[in-house]
Structures are given as structure tokens and as C-alpha cells.
Structure 1
Amino acid sequence: MRKVALIVLIITTLILLVYKLSPQPINQLVSTISKSISAVNKDSLTIASRVNAPKGFRRATYAKGSFQDYIRHYKLKPFGSKIINYDTSEYYWQKGHIGILEVPVPKNGLQQCADALIRIRSEYLWDNNRKDEIGFNFTSGHYCSWSKYAKGFRPKINGNKVTFHKTATSDYSKSNFYKYLNLLYTYSGTLSLYQELKTITNVEALQIGDMLILGGSPGHIVMLADQVTNNKGENLFLLIQGNTPAQSVHLVKNLEDNALSPWYDLKLNAVIPVSNFTFYNSKFARFK
């Protein structure tokens, strides 16, 4: 109660001070302060419970057990947790996020931005008994499936030529699954995903699990992690990302719009700054 009373006292003092200096923006100030207080629930440990819907918006409906529902309820570390690099060092910039996802970061440094999203998608398919759907293209365009890897098939790579040969015993274990993912991290990335995934050409069709992507070397990719809508059919989204160097997957702030943050109003072919990266001609894609 003392903390609450102190916060109220500080806010009241700030409002009175600004009102004396400039009485015109008082309503705007109150609105901004209210948003900043209520936008984030610091004690909550999922994406959906960490961030409240803005006034006039409600969360979009998705079926329980869907990929969208899985992402929306992804577990978060306690509020204030820092972005950690693969070598256990702290990332140099900690001001662009409001949550850290419970996604372990391998010490080999391979799980970068695209890889982290490949992992999340693959783990969803694994957990929902859809293991035969797990598979991604290498940058060369060759498809590498979990089912073939589990049977012992391994790639032989010669430049851009890739062939698969049975050189290992069958192993369907979870530990072997993560060895398979490490293989994908090595030979897949934003460029292969951009070439492989379904392109979204209508911003109104965007949904949780879709990705804002720049395919290339270097490129970048972030995932739409939650969605709210209003009576006009307008949508806002939360975004998550991994990064290079390989580091904690995190829920990002909207640094360009403090009043809306952490929600984003996404547009096609637009300039969209996301944390410490800017997409200059925004393109969106979806897992098949």
C-alpha cells in the first residue's frame, strides 16, 4: 500500500507541475500516464497476460491449441529479466524490450533471429504430435525434414549441391531433435525463409505467428505474437524477435510510438522500426 500511495503521490505531483507550466495538454498527459501504467502487467508470465489491450480494442479470437494460441500464451521470464547472449554475457542494449521468452539459447551461437522462430514453430509441431510436418529449406533450396533426419539421413554438402544419405542410426529422441535444429540453424536463415514461406499481400489478413521479414545476408525477421482488434476492424500487434548475436528471444517495445507501445500498427511496404533494426519496405510471410 505504501508503494501504491507513493506512486499516486508522484503522479499527482507531476500532473500539477505540468498543469502550472502548460494547462492545455493536461488531458493528454493524464491519458499518456494512464496508458504507461496500465499497458504492462509486471507480475504476469505470459505474452497475453503481460500486456493489456489498449482502450477500445479486444484480443482477436483464435482456437485453443492453434499456433496462434500457442504463441499468445508463450511463457515469459520475470519482468526485468535481461537479454542474454549465447556466451552468457548481457546484451549491450537493454532498453528495447518488456519481456524475455522462455526459449533457451544454445551456447554454440547458432540460434539467431530466423533460427529462434524456426525453433518455436518446430517445438509447437512437436508438442502437438505433428512431427511429420517439421521441415525447412536450406538456403540452397533443399528441403530438410525431421522425419528423414530421425531415420538417420544426413546431408552431404558440396557448394550449392546437397544430397542426403543414411549415415546414422534411427533416433527419434528429443535430444536428437535439437541436433536436427542445430543443423537447420547452420544452413537456413532469413533468406531461405523468405524464399520458402507464403507471402502475405493483404495487411488485413495478418495474424499471430506471421512474420515481418527482410530476407538476406544480413537480413532480419520478427514474429507477430499477439493481436487486438476494434469495432472498425483495425488491428494492432505485439512483436517478438531473436537477434544476432544469438540471444534471448524478447518481446519488443514500440520505440516510435510511446503512447501505443508495445503495440504496433503494421502496414505493408512501410518503414517499421523494431527495437534496434528498421524494416524499410515491410514484407510479411507465414509458415505453411
Structure 2
Amino acid sequence: MPINYINEAGLTVSNRIKLPKGYTRTTTEVNSFASYLQDYILKPFGAPVINYDGNPYIYQSGHVGILEIPVPSNGLQQCADALMRIRAEYLWDNNRKGEIGFNFTSGHYCNWSKYAEGYRPKVNGNKVTFKKRAAANYTKQNFYKYLNLIYTYSGTQSLFDELPPVNAISKLQIGDMLIKPGSPGHVIMIVDIAENRDGNRLFIFAQGNTPAQSVHIIKNPNDTSISPWFELEMNGFLEIPTYYFNDSQFMRFK
């Protein structure tokens, strides 16, 4: 009978998931993106995945936790968008607002600082120009308008094109993403890592999805003996609930 690695009372990513015997959890630096993810607040155990329209997602058997991140009713915050939001809010919360920025699929860089100053893009096919067309506004409300713009013009392809790859399982860090670029593509993020004395590593993933829905920690459908932990093989096949990756290509936020 599989061991239950879920602590139903746990209300953060690292507290919700128990460690397999012989493994220790990756220690992270204070205020790092990795510690931000390990300590991310979860809804109480059993909370359902909710779509942007407020209705439960049709499939509720693939997750073990829901991250406390709102799902806008506009339907824009899909798989890549949800992870870009988490990264952007981490930078915001840690007074690193000047680092908030993402490429459009066209390759044009759009950062929060210029948006806050009033610069807006004019998009014509793959041609993008920025002009100052609004008053300066540095509020959190305007920040979320900026993110809606990113959700519209960025996605799995832009992340794949923009970000540096990670080419070894031993080098993967919390916050790295497995990306299948394209339309439709998909992306999942490592939110916890455990390792044993032999150097074997196990990983926990979270994802957003399409339609836009709650960001959730996923189960391992292929190995229930360690679920929700995953073993990984570089450039290998990986199945997750409702999706699979033919080859594992990992990327890291700059």
C-alpha cells in the first residue's frame, strides 16, 4: 500500500508534503524565490480547483493543494501567466520591482517600470512600439493591469525563447520550470525538492492551467508510491494529470 505523503493540516507547500524516508528537503536562503515558493500559503486541504468563472474544474482528482493566488474573472491568467504572476509578485513583495519584466512572444521586452511611468505598447503583428500614453501610476492596482497585458502577449513560447535552460537534473532548483512551448503549450514549476545521501532527487510541481484556474500542486499519476513527488530524467517523458511532456526541457527565471 502506497505511503501517504500528505499532511492535511499543512498550510504551506513544504508543510503539506511529507518527506520520503532517507530524504531531506532542500534548504533555501531567506527571501529567495525558492523559499518564497516553499512557504507559499495553501488553502485548506480538500479545496477544489476553481475556474476563472467561479465554477469547479471538471477534473478534481489530480491535485493535493491549492495555492492562495486569486484567479481573475477575465480568464487571462492561464498556465504560463499564473507562474509569471507568482514570479512578479515575489519581486514586488521583496522590493525588487525594477526587475519585473517579461518578453512578449514577438521578443519585445515589457517591464513594469516603464508601464508604471505611463508607457504602453502598440502592437501591429510582430511589430511593437512603446509610447507614453498614460499618467504615471505605481499602485498595486495598476500592477495587475500590467500583468493582464503580459498575459495577453506572453506565454509558454516567450518564456521558452527568453529564459536560460537548465541542462542537468543535479542543477535544477526550486522555481525552475518545465516548458513545452507553443499554442497550446504547457508549463509547470518546481516548488520543492528533496534529496537523499546518494544524490537522488525528488521534485514537487505546481501548475496553472487552461482554462484559467486555481494554481495547484499536482499528483504523480505514474508512480503513486511516491506521489506527489516526482523522479525526473533529463529529456525524458513525463506524465502529469491531464497532460504529458515528451521531453523534459527546463528553464529558469533570470
TM-score by length of 2: 0.99
How far does residue 126 in structure 1 lie from its aligned partner after superposition? 0.2
Match of 1:85 among 51, 72, 84: 51
User: Helix, strand or coil: the match of 2:158?
Assistant: helix
How far does residue 61 in structure 1 lie from its aligned partner after superposition? 1.4
Match of 1:235 among 201, 209, 212: 201
Aligned residue identity for 2:221: L
Deviating beyond 4 angstroms after TM superposition, the runs of 4 or more aligned structure 1 residues are: none
User: Helix, strand or coil: the match of 1:110?
Assistant: coil
Where does residue 206 of structure 1 map in the other structure? 172
TM-score by length of 1: 0.87
Where does residue 271 of structure 1 map in the other structure? 237
Aligned residue identity for 1:266: L
How far does residue 96 in structure 1 lie from its aligned partner after superposition? 0.2
1:256 aligns with 2:215: no
Match of 2:87 among 105, 121, 144: 121
CA distance in 2, matches of 1:100, 1:67: 19
Where does residue 135 of structure 1 map in the other structure? 101
1:111 aligns with 2:83: no
Match of 2:130 among 164, 167, 191: 164
User: Helix, strand or coil: the match of 1:228?
Assistant: strand
CA distance in 2, matches of 1:211, 1:223: 4
Match of 1:63 among 29, 32, 38: 29
CA distance in 1, matches of 2:174, 2:167: 15
User: Helix, strand or coil: the match of 2:192?
Assistant: strand
How far does residue 43 in structure 1 lie from its aligned partner after superposition? 1.2
How far does residue 40 in structure 1 lie from its aligned partner after superposition? 0.6
Structure showing greater Rg: 1
CA distance in 2, matches of 1:133, 1:91: 34
What is the total number of aligned residue pairs between the two structures?
Answer: 254
Q: Give the aligned CA root-mean-square deviation in angstroms.
A: 0.6
Give the structure with the larger helix fraction. Answer: 1
Deviations 1:92-128 (A, max 9, x none): 0000000000010000000000000000000000000
> Any stretches of 5+ residues in structure 1 without a counterpart?
1-28
CA distance in 2, matches of 1:138, 1:225: 25
Q: Identity of aligned pairs, percent?
A: 58
> Any stretches of 5+ residues in structure 2 without a counterpart?
none
More relative contact order in 1 or in 2 (CA 8 Å, sep 6+)? 2
Match of 1:75 among 41, 45, 69: 41
Deviations 1:125-144 (A, max 9, x none): 00000000000000000000
CA distance in 1, matches of 2:108, 2:233: 32
